[in-house]
C-alpha cells in the first residue's frame, strides 16, 4: 500500500486528521509549488446535508463517487475553486475539503498567482489559486499528479483542534473541521 493509500485507509474523520501535516504539491509548466496542509474539513456524503453528494450523483460531483485518492474540484459562488480529497470505497461519496496550508515551496510563484503577499493560502479558494488548481484538475490521481499529496513533514508538536465547520448553513454543529494549531 502506498503512503497515500495508508493515509486514506480510515473513516472520513480520521482521514481529515491524517491529512494535517501532509505535503500538497502541484507542478505546472515545470514550476513546483507546495504547501503543508494545516486545515481540513470532513464531508460524509449521503449522511451529510452540507455535502454536494448528499442528494446523489450529478455531473459535478461524479468524482466523489469514485475510488479514494482522487481530487474533486468544484466551483464556489461561480468564482473560486475548492479542492477535496475523495475518501471511501467507490460509490461512497465521502470527501475531505482542503481549507488551508502553509507555503513550503515555490513561494514566489504563489505570490505571483495570488497577486499579493499576505493571506496566501488561508482559505479554500485561496489555496486552489495559490497552487493553480482549477476545474481542469478535477479527477486528478493524487498519487501521479500534476496535483499530488505526499506524507509528512507532519505538524510537529502542534495540537490538532476540532471546531464546527465554516461557511455552510446545514449540519453546522458537527465538529468536523480540523486545524493544526499555530
Closer residue to DNA (CB): 112 or 170: 170
Residue pair 36/48 in contact by the 8 Å Cβ criterion: no
**Which residue in the set 17, 31, 151, 168 belongs to the binding site for DNA (CB under 7 A)?**
168
Q: What are phi and psi of 132, to 5 degrees?
A: 65, 35
CA count, 13 A, side-chain hemisphere, 137:
24
Contacts of 56 (CB under 8 A, 6+ apart): none
Closer residue to DNA (CB): 79 or 144: 79
CB of 29 to DNA, least distance (A): 22
CB of 39 to DNA, least distance (A): 10
Cα separation, 24 vs 112, in Å, equals: 19
Q: What are phi and psi of 65, to 5 degrees?
A: -85, 0
59 binds DNA (CB under 7 A): yes
Look up residue 123 and give its three cell numbers. 482559505
- DSSP 3-state percent helix, strand, coil across the chain (nearest 5): 20, 35, 45
Binding pattern for the stretch 120-159 against DNA, x by CB under 7 A and - elsewhere: ---xxxxx-x------------------------------
Of the candidate spans 10-18, 68-76, 101-109, 153-161, the one that interacts with DNA by CB under 7 A turns out to be 68-76
Q: Which residues contact DNA (rule: CB under 7 A)?
A: 41, 43, 50-53, 55-56, 58-61, 64, 72, 74-80, 82, 84, 95, 97, 114, 116, 119, 123-127, 129, 165-170
Amino acid at each position: 500500500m502506498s503512503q497515500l493509500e495508508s493515509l486514506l485507509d480510515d473513516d472520513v474523520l480520521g482521514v481529515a486528521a491524517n491529512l494535517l501535516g501532509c505535503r500538497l504539491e502541484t507542478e505546472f509548466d515545470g514550476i513546483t509549488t507546495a504547501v503543508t496542509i494545516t486545515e481540513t474539513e470532513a464531508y460524509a456524503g449521503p449522511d451529510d446535508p452540507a455535502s454536494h453528494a448528499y442528494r446523489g450523483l450529478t455531473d459535478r460531483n461524479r468524482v466523489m463517487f469514485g475510488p479514494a485518492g482522487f481530487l474533486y474540484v468544484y466551483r464556489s459562488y461561480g468564482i473560486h475553486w475548492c479542492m477535496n480529497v475523495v475518501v471511501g470505497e467507490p460509490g461512497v461519496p465521502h470527501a475531505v475539503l482542503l481549507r488551508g496550508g502553509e507555503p513550503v515551496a515555490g513561494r514566489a510563484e504563489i505570490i505571483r498567482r495570488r497577486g499579493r503577499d499576505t493571506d496566501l493560502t488561508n482559505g479554500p479558494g485561496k489555496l486552489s489559486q495559490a497552487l493553480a488548481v482549477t476545474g481542469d484538475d478535477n479527477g486528478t490521481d493524487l498519487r501521479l499528479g500534476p496535483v499530488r499529496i505526499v506524507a509528512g513533514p507532519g505538524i510537529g508538536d502542534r495540537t490538532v483542534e476540532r471546531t464546527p465547520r465554516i461557511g455552510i448553513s446545514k449540519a453546522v454543529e458537527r465538529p468536523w473541521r480540523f486545524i493544526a494549531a499555530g
